[in-house]
Amino acid sequence: MNKLTRRDFTSKITKGTGAAMVAASLPMGIYAACTPDKKLGIALVGLGSYSTYQLAPALQDTKNCYLAGIVTGTPSKAISWAKKYSLAEHCIYNYENFDTIKDNKDIDIVYVVLPNAMHADFCIRAAKAGKHVICEKPMAMNVAECEQIISACKKANVKLGMGYRLHSEPYTQQVQEFVKKKTYGDVTFVSAEAAYRSTGNPDQWRLNRELSGGGALVNMGVYAIQSAIYGTGENPISVAAQEFSTRPEYFKDTDETITAQLNFPSGAIANITTSHNFSANSMYVAGTNGWFKLQPANNYGPLSGSTSDGKILDFPHESQQKLQMDDFASHILHGSTNLAPGEMGKRDMIIVSAIYESIAKGGKTIRLDIPKDYGFA
Ligand code: NAD
Protein backbone atom coordinates (compact mmCIF):
# COMPACT_ATOMS: atom_id res chain seq x y z
CA MET A 1 0.00 0.00 0.00
CA ASN A 2 1.58 3.26 -0.97
CA LYS A 3 -1.17 5.71 -0.14
CA LEU A 4 -2.32 6.85 3.21
CA THR A 5 -6.06 7.24 3.23
CA ARG A 6 -7.87 9.71 5.38
CA ARG A 7 -9.24 6.85 7.48
CA ASP A 8 -5.79 5.29 8.03
CA PHE A 9 -4.28 8.53 9.16
CA THR A 10 -7.23 9.60 11.28
CA SER A 11 -7.08 6.29 13.06
CA LYS A 12 -3.33 6.70 13.75
CA ILE A 13 -3.67 10.19 15.13
CA THR A 14 -6.72 9.45 17.22
CA LYS A 15 -4.81 6.59 18.81
CA GLY A 16 -2.74 9.29 20.48
CA THR A 17 0.14 9.90 18.13
CA GLY A 18 1.22 13.50 18.81
CA ALA A 19 1.85 15.77 15.87
CA ALA A 20 5.57 16.09 16.47
CA MET A 21 5.82 12.31 16.69
CA VAL A 22 3.65 11.96 13.63
CA ALA A 23 6.04 14.17 11.74
CA ALA A 24 9.14 12.47 13.02
CA SER A 25 8.03 8.87 13.19
CA LEU A 26 8.21 7.79 9.57
CA PRO A 27 11.12 7.78 7.18
CA MET A 28 10.57 10.13 4.29
CA GLY A 29 9.25 8.64 1.13
CA ILE A 30 7.61 5.69 2.81
CA TYR A 31 4.34 6.74 1.33
CA ALA A 32 3.98 7.71 -2.27
CA ALA A 33 2.64 11.07 -3.26
CA CYS A 34 -0.70 12.03 -1.84
CA THR A 35 -1.18 13.92 -5.01
CA PRO A 36 -2.70 14.11 -8.40
CA ASP A 37 -0.32 14.48 -11.34
CA LYS A 38 0.91 17.79 -12.72
CA LYS A 39 0.00 19.80 -9.68
CA LEU A 40 2.69 21.22 -7.45
CA GLY A 41 2.51 20.44 -3.76
CA ILE A 42 2.43 23.45 -1.44
CA ALA A 43 3.35 23.33 2.25
CA LEU A 44 1.95 26.17 4.34
CA VAL A 45 4.25 27.33 7.12
CA GLY A 46 2.25 28.87 9.95
CA LEU A 47 -1.38 27.94 10.35
CA GLY A 48 -2.80 31.21 11.60
CA SER A 49 -5.83 33.03 10.31
CA TYR A 50 -4.58 33.71 6.78
CA SER A 51 -3.64 30.08 6.17
CA THR A 52 -6.77 28.79 7.86
CA TYR A 53 -9.43 31.01 6.31
CA GLN A 54 -7.91 31.97 2.95
CA LEU A 55 -5.02 29.88 1.70
CA ALA A 56 -6.07 26.36 2.66
CA PRO A 57 -9.64 26.80 1.36
CA ALA A 58 -8.28 28.37 -1.85
CA LEU A 59 -5.95 25.39 -2.31
CA GLN A 60 -8.99 23.13 -2.58
CA ASP A 61 -9.83 24.84 -5.89
CA THR A 62 -6.43 25.50 -7.43
CA LYS A 63 -5.61 23.95 -10.80
CA ASN A 64 -1.81 23.99 -10.76
CA CYS A 65 -1.09 23.30 -7.10
CA TYR A 66 -2.65 21.74 -4.03
CA LEU A 67 -2.24 21.65 -0.27
CA ALA A 68 0.33 18.89 0.22
CA GLY A 69 1.76 19.68 3.63
CA ILE A 70 1.92 21.88 6.69
CA VAL A 71 4.53 23.24 9.07
CA THR A 72 3.22 24.15 12.49
CA GLY A 73 4.43 24.61 16.04
CA THR A 74 1.08 23.48 17.43
CA PRO A 75 0.61 19.68 17.60
CA SER A 76 -3.19 19.96 17.88
CA LYS A 77 -3.28 21.90 14.58
CA ALA A 78 -1.18 19.21 12.90
CA ILE A 79 -3.80 16.67 13.89
CA SER A 80 -6.86 18.70 12.96
CA TRP A 81 -5.43 19.87 9.63
CA ALA A 82 -4.24 16.39 8.69
CA LYS A 83 -7.73 15.13 9.30
CA LYS A 84 -9.54 17.97 7.59
CA TYR A 85 -7.35 17.98 4.47
CA SER A 86 -6.33 14.30 4.34
CA LEU A 87 -2.66 15.19 4.61
CA ALA A 88 -0.07 12.43 4.53
CA GLU A 89 2.02 11.96 7.66
CA HIS A 90 5.29 12.54 5.89
CA CYS A 91 4.06 15.99 4.79
CA ILE A 92 3.59 17.30 8.33
CA TYR A 93 6.43 19.23 9.95
CA ASN A 94 7.14 21.33 12.96
CA TYR A 95 9.50 24.31 13.06
CA GLU A 96 12.37 22.18 14.36
CA ASN A 97 12.29 19.33 11.82
CA PHE A 98 11.27 21.64 8.95
CA ASP A 99 14.68 21.38 7.21
CA THR A 100 14.11 17.67 6.53
CA ILE A 101 11.49 18.83 4.02
CA LYS A 102 14.39 18.73 1.53
CA ASP A 103 13.87 14.96 1.32
CA ASN A 104 10.16 15.25 0.57
CA LYS A 105 9.43 14.91 -3.13
CA ASP A 106 5.76 15.75 -2.60
CA ILE A 107 6.46 19.31 -1.53
CA ASP A 108 7.47 21.66 -4.34
CA ILE A 109 6.63 25.04 -2.85
CA VAL A 110 6.95 26.32 0.70
CA TYR A 111 4.58 29.19 1.50
CA VAL A 112 5.75 31.21 4.51
CA VAL A 113 2.74 32.65 6.38
CA LEU A 114 4.37 33.44 9.72
CA PRO A 115 4.80 36.68 11.70
CA ASN A 116 7.03 39.00 9.70
CA ALA A 117 10.13 38.51 11.84
CA MET A 118 10.15 34.83 10.89
CA HIS A 119 9.85 35.30 7.10
CA ALA A 120 13.55 35.54 6.30
CA ASP A 121 14.56 32.54 8.39
CA PHE A 122 11.94 30.23 6.92
CA CYS A 123 12.26 31.48 3.34
CA ILE A 124 16.02 30.93 3.46
CA ARG A 125 15.63 27.50 5.04
CA ALA A 126 13.05 26.58 2.39
CA ALA A 127 15.40 27.69 -0.40
CA LYS A 128 18.25 25.71 1.13
CA ALA A 129 15.94 22.70 1.15
CA GLY A 130 15.57 23.17 -2.61
CA LYS A 131 11.94 24.31 -2.47
CA HIS A 132 10.36 27.16 -4.38
CA VAL A 133 9.24 29.89 -2.03
CA ILE A 134 6.23 32.14 -1.59
CA CYS A 135 6.79 34.78 1.07
CA GLU A 136 3.95 36.69 2.67
CA LYS A 137 3.99 40.46 2.89
CA PRO A 138 5.82 42.40 4.13
CA MET A 139 8.74 40.44 2.75
CA ALA A 140 10.93 40.80 5.85
CA MET A 141 11.99 43.10 8.67
CA ASN A 142 14.35 45.22 6.56
CA VAL A 143 15.99 45.51 3.15
CA ALA A 144 19.02 43.44 4.16
CA GLU A 145 16.80 40.48 5.02
CA CYS A 146 14.99 40.82 1.67
CA GLU A 147 18.37 40.65 -0.07
CA GLN A 148 19.30 37.54 1.90
CA ILE A 149 16.06 35.80 0.83
CA ILE A 150 16.56 36.75 -2.81
CA SER A 151 20.16 35.57 -2.85
CA ALA A 152 19.32 32.29 -1.05
CA CYS A 153 16.70 31.55 -3.71
CA LYS A 154 19.08 32.44 -6.53
CA LYS A 155 21.82 30.28 -5.05
CA ALA A 156 19.45 27.33 -4.69
CA ASN A 157 18.02 27.97 -8.16
CA VAL A 158 14.46 28.07 -6.86
CA LYS A 159 11.70 30.53 -7.72
CA LEU A 160 10.62 33.22 -5.30
CA GLY A 161 7.22 34.91 -5.28
CA MET A 162 5.54 37.36 -2.93
CA GLY A 163 2.08 36.73 -1.50
CA TYR A 164 0.85 39.84 -3.35
CA ARG A 165 -2.51 38.37 -4.32
CA LEU A 166 -3.78 41.52 -6.09
CA HIS A 167 -1.41 41.04 -9.01
CA SER A 168 -3.49 38.03 -10.02
CA GLU A 169 -6.78 39.86 -9.48
CA PRO A 170 -8.75 41.14 -12.51
CA TYR A 171 -9.69 44.64 -11.29
CA THR A 172 -6.08 45.30 -10.37
CA GLN A 173 -4.89 43.90 -13.68
CA GLN A 174 -7.35 46.20 -15.46
CA VAL A 175 -5.96 49.20 -13.61
CA GLN A 176 -2.44 48.19 -14.61
CA GLU A 177 -3.58 47.99 -18.22
CA PHE A 178 -5.24 51.44 -18.11
CA VAL A 179 -1.91 52.82 -16.92
CA LYS A 180 0.17 50.95 -19.47
CA LYS A 181 -2.11 51.90 -22.38
CA LYS A 182 -2.60 55.45 -21.13
CA THR A 183 -6.35 54.93 -21.52
CA TYR A 184 -6.96 58.04 -19.37
CA GLY A 185 -3.86 59.86 -20.51
CA ASP A 186 -0.65 60.31 -18.54
CA VAL A 187 -1.11 59.65 -14.87
CA THR A 188 -0.61 62.80 -12.82
CA PHE A 189 -1.92 61.80 -9.38
CA VAL A 190 -2.72 58.72 -7.30
CA SER A 191 -4.46 58.64 -3.97
CA ALA A 192 -4.33 55.29 -2.16
CA GLU A 193 -5.66 54.24 1.23
CA ALA A 194 -5.27 50.93 3.00
CA ALA A 195 -6.34 50.79 6.62
CA TYR A 196 -8.46 49.04 9.23
CA ARG A 197 -9.26 49.66 12.87
CA SER A 198 -7.42 47.39 15.23
CA THR A 199 -9.08 46.76 18.58
CA GLY A 200 -7.97 43.23 19.44
CA ASN A 201 -5.51 41.84 21.94
CA PRO A 202 -2.86 44.52 22.56
CA ASP A 203 -0.28 41.74 22.92
CA GLN A 204 -0.80 40.42 19.37
CA TRP A 205 2.37 40.07 17.29
CA ARG A 206 1.27 42.78 14.82
CA LEU A 207 1.57 45.36 17.60
CA ASN A 208 4.94 44.06 18.74
CA ARG A 209 7.73 45.63 16.71
CA GLU A 210 10.14 42.78 17.34
CA LEU A 211 7.79 40.38 15.56
CA SER A 212 6.16 42.73 13.04
CA GLY A 213 8.92 45.17 12.09
CA GLY A 214 6.40 48.01 12.25
CA GLY A 215 2.71 48.82 12.48
CA ALA A 216 0.12 49.90 9.92
CA LEU A 217 2.79 50.75 7.36
CA VAL A 218 4.25 47.25 7.06
CA ASN A 219 0.83 45.64 7.30
CA MET A 220 -1.69 47.63 5.23
CA GLY A 221 0.64 50.37 4.04
CA VAL A 222 2.30 47.96 1.67
CA TYR A 223 -0.97 47.85 -0.30
CA ALA A 224 -1.08 51.63 -0.56
CA ILE A 225 2.55 51.69 -1.74
CA GLN A 226 1.70 49.01 -4.29
CA SER A 227 -1.35 51.01 -5.52
CA ALA A 228 0.81 54.10 -5.96
CA ILE A 229 3.29 52.11 -8.03
CA TYR A 230 0.89 50.23 -10.26
CA GLY A 231 -1.31 53.34 -10.39
CA THR A 232 1.56 55.29 -11.97
CA GLY A 233 3.44 52.39 -13.57
CA GLU A 234 6.69 53.74 -12.12
CA ASN A 235 8.97 53.40 -9.14
CA PRO A 236 9.08 56.53 -6.95
CA ILE A 237 12.14 58.77 -6.79
CA SER A 238 11.46 60.35 -3.41
CA VAL A 239 9.15 60.20 -0.44
CA ALA A 240 8.19 62.38 2.53
CA ALA A 241 6.03 61.06 5.36
CA GLN A 242 4.14 61.97 8.53
CA GLU A 243 3.00 59.87 11.48
CA PHE A 244 -0.10 60.44 13.62
CA SER A 245 -0.84 58.84 16.95
CA THR A 246 -4.24 59.17 18.60
CA ARG A 247 -4.30 55.97 20.71
CA PRO A 248 -0.75 55.78 22.06
CA GLU A 249 -1.87 53.62 24.98
CA TYR A 250 -2.86 50.86 22.50
CA PHE A 251 -0.18 51.43 19.85
CA LYS A 252 2.71 51.45 22.30
CA ASP A 253 5.26 49.89 20.03
CA THR A 254 4.10 50.34 16.43
CA ASP A 255 2.86 53.07 14.13
CA GLU A 256 -0.87 53.78 14.11
CA THR A 257 -1.40 56.13 11.14
CA ILE A 258 1.01 57.24 8.44
CA THR A 259 0.59 59.46 5.40
CA ALA A 260 3.24 59.79 2.73
CA GLN A 261 3.75 61.65 -0.52
CA LEU A 262 5.69 60.04 -3.31
CA ASN A 263 7.21 61.65 -6.39
CA PHE A 264 7.66 59.76 -9.63
CA PRO A 265 10.05 60.28 -12.55
CA SER A 266 7.22 61.37 -14.90
CA GLY A 267 6.22 64.14 -12.50
CA ALA A 268 3.22 62.21 -11.15
CA ILE A 269 2.66 62.42 -7.41
CA ALA A 270 0.91 60.07 -4.99
CA ASN A 271 -0.56 60.55 -1.57
CA ILE A 272 -0.92 57.40 0.50
CA THR A 273 -2.58 56.79 3.85
CA THR A 274 -2.39 53.75 6.06
CA SER A 275 -3.70 53.15 9.54
CA HIS A 276 -4.56 50.63 12.21
CA ASN A 277 -7.05 53.14 13.59
CA PHE A 278 -9.70 53.52 10.89
CA SER A 279 -11.06 51.82 7.82
CA ALA A 280 -10.02 52.92 4.34
CA ASN A 281 -9.66 50.89 1.21
CA SER A 282 -9.42 52.63 -2.15
CA MET A 283 -7.28 53.91 -4.97
CA TYR A 284 -7.97 56.84 -7.28
CA VAL A 285 -5.88 57.57 -10.33
CA ALA A 286 -6.12 60.86 -12.24
CA GLY A 287 -4.74 61.12 -15.74
CA THR A 288 -4.57 63.96 -18.25
CA ASN A 289 -7.74 62.61 -19.94
CA GLY A 290 -9.83 61.31 -17.05
CA TRP A 291 -9.71 59.13 -13.99
CA PHE A 292 -10.42 55.64 -12.67
CA LYS A 293 -10.83 54.28 -9.20
CA LEU A 294 -11.20 51.10 -7.20
CA GLN A 295 -13.14 50.96 -3.95
CA PRO A 296 -12.54 48.58 -2.34
CA ALA A 297 -9.08 48.27 -3.83
CA ASN A 298 -7.23 45.82 -1.64
CA ASN A 299 -9.51 43.52 0.37
CA TYR A 300 -10.21 39.89 -0.54
CA GLY A 301 -12.83 41.00 -3.05
CA PRO A 302 -14.87 41.30 -5.00
CA LEU A 303 -13.28 44.66 -5.73
CA SER A 304 -15.29 47.36 -7.43
CA GLY A 305 -14.29 50.09 -9.84
CA SER A 306 -15.43 52.89 -12.11
CA THR A 307 -14.04 55.40 -14.58
CA SER A 308 -14.58 59.02 -15.62
CA ASP A 309 -16.23 57.93 -18.87
CA GLY A 310 -18.94 56.05 -17.01
CA LYS A 311 -17.59 52.52 -17.10
CA ILE A 312 -18.39 50.28 -14.18
CA LEU A 313 -15.73 47.59 -13.93
CA ASP A 314 -17.33 44.20 -13.55
CA PHE A 315 -15.32 40.99 -13.38
CA PRO A 316 -16.42 37.62 -12.06
CA HIS A 317 -15.18 37.01 -8.56
CA GLU A 318 -12.73 34.24 -7.83
CA SER A 319 -10.59 33.69 -4.78
CA GLN A 320 -7.58 35.99 -5.15
CA GLN A 321 -5.45 33.49 -3.26
CA LYS A 322 -6.43 30.74 -5.66
CA LEU A 323 -5.48 32.88 -8.66
CA GLN A 324 -2.23 33.96 -7.02
CA MET A 325 -1.05 30.45 -6.12
CA ASP A 326 -2.06 29.08 -9.52
CA ASP A 327 -0.15 31.89 -11.24
CA PHE A 328 2.99 31.16 -9.22
CA ALA A 329 2.71 27.42 -9.88
CA SER A 330 2.22 28.16 -13.56
CA HIS A 331 5.39 30.27 -13.48
CA ILE A 332 7.26 27.20 -12.22
CA LEU A 333 5.49 24.66 -14.42
CA HIS A 334 5.11 26.60 -17.66
CA GLY A 335 7.47 29.57 -17.40
CA SER A 336 4.68 32.16 -17.29
CA THR A 337 5.54 35.55 -15.77
CA ASN A 338 6.21 35.68 -12.06
CA LEU A 339 3.63 38.37 -11.29
CA ALA A 340 5.06 39.26 -7.87
CA PRO A 341 8.77 38.46 -7.80
CA GLY A 342 10.92 38.75 -4.67
CA GLU A 343 12.48 41.95 -6.03
CA MET A 344 9.03 43.56 -5.77
CA GLY A 345 8.96 42.71 -2.07
CA LYS A 346 12.44 44.18 -1.61
CA ARG A 347 11.52 47.34 -3.55
CA ASP A 348 8.52 47.90 -1.28
CA MET A 349 10.70 47.40 1.79
CA ILE A 350 13.11 50.06 0.46
CA ILE A 351 10.15 52.45 0.32
CA VAL A 352 8.90 51.40 3.79
CA SER A 353 12.36 52.09 5.21
CA ALA A 354 12.49 55.49 3.51
CA ILE A 355 9.08 56.38 4.95
CA TYR A 356 10.23 55.52 8.47
CA GLU A 357 13.44 57.48 7.84
CA SER A 358 11.46 60.52 6.70
CA ILE A 359 9.28 60.38 9.83
CA ALA A 360 12.36 60.05 12.04
CA LYS A 361 13.79 63.15 10.34
CA GLY A 362 10.65 65.24 10.87
CA GLY A 363 9.12 64.70 7.43
CA LYS A 364 12.27 65.33 5.41
CA THR A 365 12.11 64.26 1.76
CA ILE A 366 14.13 61.08 1.26
CA ARG A 367 15.59 60.37 -2.17
CA LEU A 368 15.08 56.87 -3.49
CA ASP A 369 17.50 55.19 -5.80
CA ILE A 370 15.40 52.36 -7.17
CA PRO A 371 16.18 51.41 -10.78
CA LYS A 372 13.37 52.21 -13.21
CA ASP A 373 12.02 48.69 -13.77
CA TYR A 374 13.19 47.13 -10.51
CA GLY A 375 10.58 44.89 -8.92
CA PHE A 376 8.11 44.97 -11.81
CA ALA A 377 6.83 41.61 -13.06
P1 NAD B 1 -1.82 34.98 12.62
O2 NAD B 1 -1.42 35.65 13.89
O3 NAD B 1 -3.25 34.65 12.44
O4 NAD B 1 -0.97 33.64 12.45
C5 NAD B 1 0.39 33.58 12.72
C6 NAD B 1 0.82 32.14 12.82
O7 NAD B 1 2.19 32.09 13.18
C8 NAD B 1 0.05 31.37 13.91
O9 NAD B 1 -0.26 30.10 13.44
C10 NAD B 1 1.06 31.28 15.04
O11 NAD B 1 0.89 30.10 15.83
C12 NAD B 1 2.37 31.21 14.28
N13 NAD B 1 3.51 31.68 15.07
C14 NAD B 1 4.70 31.06 15.12
N15 NAD B 1 5.53 31.72 15.93
C16 NAD B 1 4.85 32.76 16.42
C17 NAD B 1 5.19 33.80 17.32
N18 NAD B 1 6.40 33.90 17.87
N19 NAD B 1 4.24 34.72 17.61
C20 NAD B 1 3.03 34.67 17.05
N21 NAD B 1 2.66 33.69 16.18
C22 NAD B 1 3.56 32.74 15.87
O23 NAD B 1 -1.28 35.90 11.44
P24 NAD B 1 -1.79 35.90 9.94
O25 NAD B 1 -2.85 36.92 9.79
O26 NAD B 1 -2.07 34.54 9.47
O27 NAD B 1 -0.49 36.52 9.21
C28 NAD B 1 0.64 35.72 8.88
C29 NAD B 1 1.43 36.41 7.76
O30 NAD B 1 0.59 36.51 6.63
C31 NAD B 1 1.88 37.83 8.07
O32 NAD B 1 3.14 38.05 7.48
C33 NAD B 1 0.84 38.69 7.42
O34 NAD B 1 1.31 39.97 7.06
C35 NAD B 1 0.49 37.87 6.20
N36 NAD B 1 -0.89 38.10 5.74
C37 NAD B 1 -1.08 38.39 4.43
C38 NAD B 1 -2.35 38.61 3.95
C39 NAD B 1 -2.55 38.90 2.49
O40 NAD B 1 -3.66 39.30 2.12
N41 NAD B 1 -1.57 38.67 1.64
C42 NAD B 1 -3.44 38.56 4.81
C43 NAD B 1 -3.22 38.23 6.15
C44 NAD B 1 -1.94 38.02 6.60
pLDDT (tens digit per residue) in 165-189: 999 999 999 999 999 999 999 999 9
Residue nearest to ligand 1 atom 6, measured at CA = 48
Q: What is the b/e burial string over 88-101, where b = at least 16 CB atoms within 10 angstroms of the residue's CB? A: bbbbbbbbeebeeb
pLDDT of residue 37: 58
Residue 101 CA, chain-centre distance (Å), reads: 22
Encode pLDDT of 231-290 as tens digits.
999 999 999 999 999 999 999 999 999 999 999 999 999 999 999 999 999 999 999 999
Answer yes or no: is the C-beta of 165 below 6 A from any ligand 1 atom: yes
pLDDT of residue 137: 98
pLDDT of residue 7: 32
223 assigned to active site: yes
Q: Computed from CA positions of residues 201, 202, 207, 210, in that sequence, does the dihedral angle turn out positive or negative?
A: negative
* pLDDT bracket for residue 18 (50, 70, 90): very low
Testing ligand 1's pocket by substitution, the residue of 50, 211, 225 carrying the most ligand atoms inside 8 A of its CB is 50
For residue 71, how far is its CA from the centre of ligand 1 (angstroms)? 13
Question: Which ranges in 86-169 belong to alpha helices (H)?
Answer: 119-128, 143-156
pLDDT of residue 38: 82
Answer yes or no: is the C-beta of 275 below 6 A from any ligand 1 atom: no
Mean pLDDT in residue range 123-137: 99
Sheet holding 187-197, edge to edge: 312-313, 305-307, 290-294, 277-287, 187-197, 269-275, 257-263, 238-244, 366-367
pLDDT of residue 286: 99
Q: What is the distance in angstroms between the CA of the first residue and the CA of the last residue of the chain? A: 44
Alpha-carbon distance of 98 to 105, in angstroms, equals 14
Q: How would you class 238 by CB atoms within 10 Å of its CB: exposed for 0-12, middle for 13-18, buried for 19 or more?
A: middle
Mean pLDDT in residue range 64-86: 98
Answer yes or no: is the C-beta of 48 below 6 A from any ligand 1 atom: yes
Angle at which helix 143-156 crosses helix 342-360, to 10 degrees, equals: 170
Single pTM value for the model: 0.92
Answer yes or no: is the C-beta of 376 below 6 A from any ligand 1 atom: no
Q: Which atom of ligand 1 is nearest to the CA of 51?
A: 26
Testing ligand 1's pocket by substitution, the residue of 49, 52, 198 carrying the most ligand atoms inside 8 A of its CB is 49
Residues in the chain: 377
pLDDT of 17 strictly over 80: no
Domains annotated for the chain, with CATH where assigned, are: 3-163 (3.40.50.720), 166-367 (3.30.360.10)
If one counts every other C-beta atom within 10 angstroms of the C-beta of residue 218, the result is 26
Alpha-carbon distance of 268 to 246, in angstroms, equals 31
pLDDT of 35 strictly over 70: no
137 assigned to active site: yes
- With a CB cutoff of 8 Å and minimum separation 6, the contacts of 139 are 119, 145, 146, 149, 162, 342, 345, 346, 348, 349
